[in-house]
Amino acid sequence: MRATRKLLDAASSTYKSLLKPRSQWDTLTSAFATTLSILSSQTDRDKFVETVNKGIINPGILGQADMGFFMTLALHHDLSNDLFLDNGFNVEEFMEAAEPSLERFQEVLYSLDRNVLPGFTKGLKEALEEDGDGGHEDEGAKTEVKTVTDIKDSEATMEKVQGIETAMQGEANWKKKAEENPETLYGQLYGMVSEQLMDACEKQFVTSVMHCYMNQIPRMCYTLESGEIHNVALVSARAHEVIPKEEVDEDEKNDDNGYLVDESLTPITDKKYPVAAQIEVIYSISQSFRRLKLDEIDEGSTTGSEKKKEEEEESKSDDDEQKLDTAWVAVFEGMLSDGPNGSDNSLRWKLIDNRPAWEFPGKDMPR
C-alpha cells in the first residue's frame, strides 16, 4: 500500500522533524483501510492474525489507549506500506534493538543530570547572590536561600527570576558542549537524540532545578544503573517519501485556464525519492530515586571519581530510595532510503521525542 501523501523536504518546512506527528485523522483513515482489507480478503485476515501472534502488534497494550481499537487496526495498515517493504525494514529487528537503546538513553540522560547538577547549582547560587536575591548572615556563614515567596516580597521581581533562568539556560548549553567533546555524556546524549529533544532535555533540567532550589523542595536524584525497561510495544509506524519542495510547487502550478492541475491525471513516474520513517513505541520503566536537598549539595559529591560515587551510594540505606514505575512514548525517526541509491545500510535512528504516555490512561503516569 503506497503512501498516499507526499512529504515535503524537511529543510523547506518550519517543522524540524522528518514527519509531522500522527493525527487522529491519520489513525482513523488507516484503521478504515485495514477494516476494508480484512473483510474482503482471507489473505489479509491471515496476515493480520500472524502479525498479532508474532507480537509485532500487541492488542493487549494498545487496547489501553483512548483509541486503542483504531490504533491496532491502523498499525497493521501502516506496517503494510510498500515503502517499508521495498527498503528492507524489519520491524522485529527494530523492536529487539529498541529496548536496550531506550535503557541506554535513560541511563545517559540521568547520569548527565547527576554530573551537571552540582556545578549548575553552584552557578545558580552565585547568580542569585549577584542579583540581590541571596545574602550572607556573617562572614563564613552559610548562604541564605530565599524562596519564591521571599523574592516576590523583596525588590526582586519575577521578571528577574525569569531573567536568571534564561541566563542559566545559556550557561548550560548542552549542544555546544556535546559538539566540543563527543566522548562526554553531553556528546553521548546528542548522538542519540534530535536537536530539539536535546534542547527540551536541557530546558527541563534548568526549570526543574530552579523550581526546587528557589522553593527549597528536595529534588529526585536518580540511582545509577537502577533503570529497567518493561513492556515495549509498537504504537505506530509510518513511512513517506521526501519530495523536494520545488517539485511539489511544479506539480501544483495552474494550467493555462487558471485551474489547478489534478495531480491524479499526471503521468506516473518511477523516480525514487528519499524515504523517511517515524516509529512510535510505548514502554514502561522502573527507576530508583532519592530525595536530594539542592542547597546542601557538595560540588564534589556527584562529580568526583566513580569510586567516590559508589561509596556515596553505599553509605545511604535502601530505605531512602523510592522506586517509580512510569510509562513513556518514544518517537524514533530515520531515513530508510537516500533516494536513487536505494536503501542506506548505515541507517541510524534518532530519538526525537520521549513523552509521558498520556493516551494510555491505564498506565502509571510520571509526576
Question: Is residue 26 a contact partner of residue 73, using CB atoms and an 8 Å limit?
Answer: no
CA–CA separation, 349 vs 40, rounded Å? 36
Q: What are the grid coordinates assigned to 3, written together?
A: 503512501
Strands (E), 43-164: 134-136, 143-145
pLDDT band at 264 (very low <50, low <70, confident <90, very high): very low
* Ramachandran class of 232: left when φ > 0, alpha when ψ lies in -120 to 50, beta otherwise: beta
Averaged pLDDT for residues 228-232? 90
Question: Is residue 296 a contact partner of residue 123, using CB atoms and an 8 Å limit?
Answer: no
Q: Burial letters for 230-266: b for 16+ Cβ neighbours within 10 Å, e otherwise?
A: eebbbbbbbbbbbbeeeeeeeeeeeeeeeeeeeeeee
CA–CA separation, 33 vs 167, rounded Å? 51
Question: Is residue 214 a contact partner of residue 162, using CB atoms and an 8 Å limit?
Answer: no
Classify residue 291: in a domain, yes or no.
yes
CA–CA separation, 306 vs 296, rounded Å? 21
Lowest mean pLDDT among 2-6, 17-21, 235-239: 2-6
Question: Is residue 174 a contact partner of residue 189, using CB atoms and an 8 Å limit?
Answer: yes
Check residue 230 and give its pLDDT. 87
Residue 266 above 60 pLDDT?
no
Classify residue 362: in a domain, yes or no.
no
What pTM was computed for the model?
0.77
Question: Is residue 284 a contact partner of residue 325, using CB atoms and an 8 Å limit?
Answer: yes
CA–CA separation, 181 vs 191, rounded Å? 11
| pLDDT, tens digit (0-9, with 9 covering 90-100), for 332-363 | 999 888 755 544 445 679 999 999 998 888 65
**Helical (H) or strand (E) element with 172:** helix 158-172
Classify residue 367: in a domain, yes or no.
no
The answer to whether the Cα torsion of 100, 304, 141, 120 is positive or negative is: negative
CB atoms within 10 A of CB 152: 12
- In total, how many domains does the chain have? 1
Domain with 345 in it: 7-356
| pLDDT, tens digit (0-9, with 9 covering 90-100), for 177-203 | 999 999 999 999 999 999 999 999 998
Lowest mean pLDDT among 55-59, 139-143, 224-228: 139-143
Check residue 23 and give its pLDDT. 87
Residue 10 above 50 pLDDT?
no
Classify residue 366: in a domain, yes or no.
no
Classify residue 361: in a domain, yes or no.
no
Check residue 259 and give its pLDDT. 43
Q: Which amino acid is at 91?
A: V
Using alpha carbons only, what angle is made at residue 330 by residues 328 and 333, rounded to the nearest 5 degrees?
Answer: 175
Q: Is 276 exposed, middle or buried (0-12, 13-18, 19+ CB in 10 A)?
A: buried
Residue 8 above 70 pLDDT?
no
Pairing type for strands 350-356 and 321-337 reads antiparallel
CA–CA separation, 262 vs 271, rounded Å? 19
Classify residue 283: in a domain, yes or no.
yes
**200-to-15, 36, 285, 320 alpha-carbon distances in Å:** 15, 41, 20, 29
